Chains A and B, each alone.
Chain A
Amino acid sequence: MRTIRVWFTKTGEASYISLLDLQRVMQRALKRSGLPVWYTLGFNPHIYMTFAAPLSLGQESLCETVDFKTEEDGYDWDAAAPVLSACLPKGIDVVRIAPAALDANDIAGAAYAVRYAPRDAAAARAAWEAYNAAPSAEVVKEGKHGKTKTIELKTHLPTARLLVEDGGLTALLRLPAGNTLNVNPVLVLGWLEDASGLPVTAGRILRTDIYTKTGEKFS
C-alpha cells in the first residue's frame, strides 16, 4: 500500500468550500476519475483520505494537499493530474500527483500572500508598516469550548515583507501551521483592523507554500 499525494489549488469560488464539503467533493471526484484508489473494507466502503493543514473558509491557496492510498505500483500519476482536474469544481486545479515523500505531521509552517486592491493599498501599507514597527502585537485567539488564549504575533511574525504590484499591495507572511501550533493569518489581519482600522475583509489571503520543521518545502 502506498500513499499518494495530490497537490491542488483552491481559489475563487472554491475558496468557499468548507473542509467537510471538500471531503465530499474529493471523494466524488476521485471516484469519477477512475484512478486506482483504495477503498476501506467496511460495510460502507469509502476512499481513505487525509487533508494536510486544512484552510479556513474564504482563504485561497496554491498548495493544498490530499492523500489517498493505492495498491497500484508503477502507475503514471503525471498523466492522472489532468484527469482528476476535470472532475473537480471551478477553482480547484490539480497541480501534481505523486507518491508522498513526507509525513503530514512534519508540516510546521506556511507562507501567505495577503493582497489588497489599489483602492486600499495606501491604508494597507500604513497599517502593515505600523505592524512592522510595533514592539508587540498581542491578539486573543478563541479556542474550543469558549477558552481563549493570548498570542504574541511578533514571536511568529516579526515583520511582513511588503510588495507593490500593479498599484495594489501584497504583504508576504510566514506563520506556523500544522498539528502542534497553527497561527491563522486572519489573526494578524484582525490585529491590523483593531490597530489601524483596516478591515479584515480588505485583504485576500492566498496560501503560497507549506514548509516542514527544517524549513524545506513540504512534498
Chain B
Amino acid sequence: MDEKLRAALAAVQKPGRYTGGEPGCVYKEKDRVDLRFAFCFPDTYEVGMSFLGMKILYEILNKRENIWCERAFMPWVDMKRQMEALDIPLYALESKDALSRFDVVGFTLQYELSYTNILAMLDLAHIPLYAKDRGEDDPFIVAGGPCVCNAEPLADFFDLMMLGEGEVQLPDVCDTIIQGRREGLSKKEILKRLYKIEGVYIPAFYEVDYLPDGRVAAITAKEGAPAVVRKAIIADMNSQPLPENFVVPMIGAVHDRAQIEVLRGCVRGCRFCQAGFLYRPMRERNADMLSRAGQNLCANTGYDEISLTSLSTSDHSQLETLLDDMLEWTPKEHVSMSLPSLRIDNFSESLVRKTTAVRKSGLTFAPEAGTQRLRDVINKNVTEQEIERTCSLAFDAGYTSVKLYFMLGLPTETLEDVEGIADTAQRVVELYYQNPNKPKGRGVQVSISVACFVPKPMTPFQFVGQDTQDRLREKQQHLLRSVKSRKISVSYHDSRTSFLEAVFAKGDRRLSRVLEEAYRRGCFFDSWEEQFRYDTWLEVFRDLGVDPAFYANRAIGLDELTPWSHLDYGVTKDYLVREYQKALNARTTPPCNRQCSGCGANALLGGPCFAYN
C-alpha cells in the first residue's frame, strides 16, 4: 500500500472503507486483461456494498478472463479532504489504481440526490466532467440503473447510458469497446457501434430543442442513432444464474447479508412506483434454482442471514415451496431467512411461521395511503380488512412492533386522507390490545414513517406536479396533530430533499450546469442530512436563472413532449395516460398476473407475460 494512502487512512474514520481486500474480491494481472472496468457507486462504501446489482455485474464481468471489474465508492467527507490534500486520485479498491487509468468507468444511478457525488468522484479522479472535454485517452464514462430512465440532467457528463438490465448488455458493451480498440477506432466511432446494442443510449447523439416557455420542443437523433432507445431485458430469468460469490464487506454494510433475487419486476402496478414500471414484465426464478443458489452463496460467503429479495417477494408463485426448500438446509447451516417486501394482502399464517422459525424481527408494511379512496387512486390494492387481518396474524405469532410506511402529497390527497394515516395506526394499536393471544405483559409499538411523494418519469403520475413544500409541511403538521396515542411514533422526510429529488427526476439537460455549479460550491452527499446545503442549491438555481419549480411543481400536459420521450421501457405512453385518468377517478387496475391491462411491456417478451387461464 502506498505511503500517501497510509497517511490518509491514519487520519480518517473507518479506514476499512477504503482498503479493499475483502473476502471474495477479485484480483487479476492488469497487463493480461483486455478491458478494465471500474464499477462506481456514488455513495459511501456501506451503502454501495449493500447493492445487489453491483454484486451481479461484478461476478458476470469477472467471470470473463479478459475483463477485470473493480469497485470504487464515494469517499466520506474526511477521506475526500485527505485525498485532496495529499493529492491521491480516486482509485479502485482492488488494484488501488486511479480511475483515470481504466478503460470504462461505470456509475450506477440509483438516486437523484447522488448526482453531485458522481461529479465529485470524477473530479477526485482528475477526469474532466463533461463528455465533450474528454479525450481519446480518458475512460468511457458510462451509467446504468433506474435513474437512467431520465438522467437528462447528467446527459452532458456521460458518454453512454444503458437502459434496462445489464447482465447481457454490459458484457456486450465491453466486447464492442475491446473490438473497437483493437481495430484502432476513435471513441466516437466506437460509440457509433455501441448504439446498436439494445438499450444503449449515447446522449451526445441526440439534440434537444426547447419551446420559448421552457418545455421540450423536439428531440432529434443524429449520427444514425435510433430515434427511440428501448431497454434491454432478460426474457427468461432462469437462463441467468444468480451470483454465488459476494464480496463480503468487513465493515458492516447497510444490508450485510446474502441476497437472492427471487423475481424481477412487479405485477402490482402501484401508480407512484417507478420500479414497478421500469422493470416490467414480472419474471420469476424457479424455487429449486433459488434455494440451491442461496445455499451455495451462504457456503461461499459465510453469511448467516439470507434475504429473499425482490420488489414483492410474496408474489412469487412458488413462495411456499421455496421456503420449504430453504428450511431443509437453513437451520442446520445456522442461516436465518428474512423476507423483505411482503404484501399485506397475501401474508399468510404459514408464511409467518416459516420466517419466524429461525429469528423474529419487526414487521414492516406499506399501506402508502391512509384511506381506501386514496389507496385506490394510487392503485395500492390493499383493503382495511387486509391490514387488520395481517396485523392480527402477526400479533398472534408474537410480534409486538409494526412499522407502517405512508406517503404524503399523493395526487388528489385531502386533509381527510392525512387523518386516515393516524386512524390506521390507531386501529393497529387497538387490534393489539384486543388480541387475546398477544405476548403477555408487553406493549405494542407502531411506527409510521411518512415520505413525501415525488412524481417520477415513466409512471402514470409523471404528469403530476409535486405538492409545494408549504403544502407538504402543512400536511406533516396535520398528521402530527392527528396522532393521539403514545404507542404510535411518527417520522417524516424533509420536504426539501424531496423537492430536489423531483427537480432532478423530471429534469432536462439544462440542469447539468446547475449540478456542476452546486458541486463547485460544495454540494455533495446531498442525501446525507448533515451534508445537505439547501440554501446553496437555491442560490445556484437563482444565479443561473433556472426555476426549480418548473420541473418539480408544474403539471405536465398529457400531450407534452417530456425530456425522456426518446427512452422506451416497454410501457406505452397511452397506457400511462389511461392509468392517470383512472387514478383521478379512484379506479383500480388488477395485478397483471391476474389480468393483462395492456401496458405494452409484453412486446418485450414477444408474447403474453403470464399463462392466463
A: which residues have CB within 8 A of B? Answer: 12-14, 16-18, 21-22, 24-25, 27-32, 39, 43-46, 57-58, 87-91, 117, 200-201, 204
> Nearest-CB distance from A85 to chain B (Å)?
11
Assess the A45–B334 pair: CB atoms within 8 A.
yes
Residues of A within 8 A of B359 (CB): 43-44
Residues of B within 8 A of A39 (CB): 334
B251 contacts which of A14, A18, A201 (Cβ < 8 Å)?
A18
Assess the B302–A29 pair: CB atoms within 8 A.
yes
Assess the A18–B16 pair: CB atoms within 8 A.
yes
With contacts A21-B16, A90-B21 known, is A28 near B6, CB below 8 A?
no
Residues of A within 8 A of B19 (CB): 13, 16
The reply on B250 being an interface residue by CB < 8 A is yes
Residues of A within 8 A of B16 (CB): 16-18, 21
Residues of B within 8 A of A46 (CB): 304, 334
Report, as a range, how many residues of chain B touch the other chain: 20 to 34
> Nearest-CB distance from A151 to chain B (Å)?
22
Residues of A within 8 A of B6 (CB): 201, 204
Give bound CA distance, A22 to B11, whole Å.
Answer: 20
> Nearest-CB distance from B98 to chain A (Å)?
18
A32 contacts which of B10, B11, B252, B299 (Cβ < 8 Å)?
B299
B 14-30 binary contact with A (CB < 8 Å = 1; else 0): 01101111110100000
> Nearest-CB distance from A167 to chain B (Å)?
15
Give bound CA distance, A44 to B11, whole Å.
Answer: 37
Q: Which 7 A/B pairs are nearest by Cβ-Cβ distance?
A: A28-B302, A13-B21, A90-B21, A32-B302, A13-B19, A16-B15, A31-B302
Residues of A within 8 A of B23 (CB): 25, 28-29, 32, 87-89
Assess the B15–A58 pair: CB atoms within 8 A.
yes
A28 contacts which of B15, B18, B25, B301 (Cβ < 8 Å)?
B301
Q: Which residue of A lies closest to B299 (CB)?
A: A32
The reply on B503 being an interface residue by CB < 8 A is no
> Nearest-CB distance from B490 to chain A (Å)?
31
Q: Which of B286-327 contact A (CB under 8 A)?
A: 299-304
With contacts A28-B301, A87-B23, A89-B22 known, is A13 near B1, CB below 8 A?
yes
B: which residues have CB within 8 A of A? Answer: 1, 3, 6-7, 9-11, 15-16, 18-23, 25, 248, 250-252, 299-304, 334, 336, 359
Assess the A28–B21 pair: CB atoms within 8 A.
no
Q: Which residue of A lies closest to B359 (CB)?
A: A44
> Nearest-CB distance from A158 to chain B (Å)?
28
Give bound CA distance, A44 to B356, whole Å.
Answer: 12
> Nearest-CB distance from B19 to chain A (Å)?
4
B21 contacts which of A30, A57, A89 (Cβ < 8 Å)?
A89
Can you name 14 A-B residue pairings with CB atoms under 8 Å? Answer: A16-B18, A16-B19, A17-B16, A17-B251, A18-B251, A21-B251, A24-B250, A28-B302, A31-B304, A32-B23, A32-B300, A44-B359, A89-B21, A117-B3
Residues of A within 8 A of B10 (CB): 58, 200-201
> Nearest-CB distance from A201 to chain B (Å)?
5
With contacts A12-B21, A17-B250 known, is A87 near B9, CB below 8 A?
no
Give bound CA distance, A200 to B21, whole Å.
Answer: 25
Q: Which residue of B lies closest to A44 (CB)?
A: B359
With contacts A89-B250, A117-B3 known, is A28 near B303, CB below 8 A?
yes
Give bound CA distance, A28 to B252, whole Å.
Answer: 13
Q: Which residue of B lies closest to A58 (CB)?
A: B10
Residues of B within 8 A of A17 (CB): 16, 250-251
Residues of B within 8 A of A117 (CB): 3
Residues of A within 8 A of B334 (CB): 31, 39, 45-46
Q: Which residue of B lies closest to A119 (CB)?
A: B3
Other A-B pairs, 20, CB within 8 Å; known A16-B16, A21-B250, A27-B302: A12-B21, A13-B1, A13-B19, A16-B15, A16-B18, A17-B16, A17-B250, A24-B250, A24-B252, A25-B23, A28-B302, A29-B302, A31-B302, A32-B23, A32-B300, A45-B334, A89-B22, A90-B20, A201-B11, A204-B6
> Which one of B23, B300, B334 has the highest number of Cβ atoms from chain A below 10 Å of its Cβ?
B23
Assess the A32–B301 pair: CB atoms within 8 A.
yes
> Nearest-CB distance from A200 to chain B (Å)?
8
Give bound CA distance, A150 to B248, whole Å.
Answer: 41
Give bound CA distance, A180 to B303, whole Å.
Answer: 35
Give bound CA distance, A148 to B251, whole Å.
Answer: 30
Give bound CA distance, A134 to B527, whole Å.
Answer: 53
Give bound CA distance, A90 to B301, whole Å.
Answer: 15
Residues of A within 8 A of B7 (CB): 201
Give bound CA distance, A216 to B566, whole Å.
Answer: 75
> Nearest-CB distance from A145 to chain B (Å)?
21
> Which one of B10, B21, B336 has the highest number of Cβ atoms from chain A below 10 Å of its Cβ?
B21
Q: Which residue of B lies closest to A90 (CB)?
A: B21
Give bound CA distance, A27 to B23, whole Å.
Answer: 12
Q: Which residue of A lies closest to B7 (CB)?
A: A201
Give bound CA distance, A16 to B7, whole Å.
Answer: 12
Residues of B within 8 A of A28 (CB): 23, 248, 301-304
Residues of B within 8 A of A57 (CB): 15
Residues of B within 8 A of A43 (CB): 359
> Nearest-CB distance from A65 to chain B (Å)?
19
> Nearest-CB distance from A185 to chain B (Å)?
14
Residues of B within 8 A of A45 (CB): 334
Q: Which residue of B lies closest to A30 (CB)?
A: B302
> Nearest-CB distance from B71 to chain A (Å)?
14
Give bound CA distance, A30 to B334, whole Å.
Answer: 12
Residues of A within 8 A of B11 (CB): 201
Give bound CA distance, A28 to B238, whole Å.
Answer: 29
Assess the B302–A58 pair: CB atoms within 8 A.
no
Residues of A within 8 A of B248 (CB): 28
Give bound CA distance, A28 to B22, whole Å.
Answer: 12
> Which one of B7, B22, B248, B302 has the highest number of Cβ atoms from chain A below 10 Å of its Cβ?
B302
A12 contacts which of B1, B15, B18, B250 (Cβ < 8 Å)?
B1
Q: Which residue of B lies closest to A204 (CB)?
A: B6
> Nearest-CB distance from A114 to chain B (Å)?
14
> Which one of A14, A27, A89, A200 has the highest number of Cβ atoms from chain B below 10 Å of its Cβ?
A89
> Nearest-CB distance from B113 to chain A (Å)?
28
> Nearest-CB distance from B338 to chain A (Å)?
13
Residues of A within 8 A of B250 (CB): 17, 21-22, 24-25, 89
Residues of A within 8 A of B303 (CB): 28
> Nearest-CB distance from A155 to chain B (Å)?
28
A21 contacts which of B9, B21, B252, B336 (Cβ < 8 Å)?
B252
Assess the B9–A16 pair: CB atoms within 8 A.
yes
> Nearest-CB distance from B330 to chain A (Å)?
12
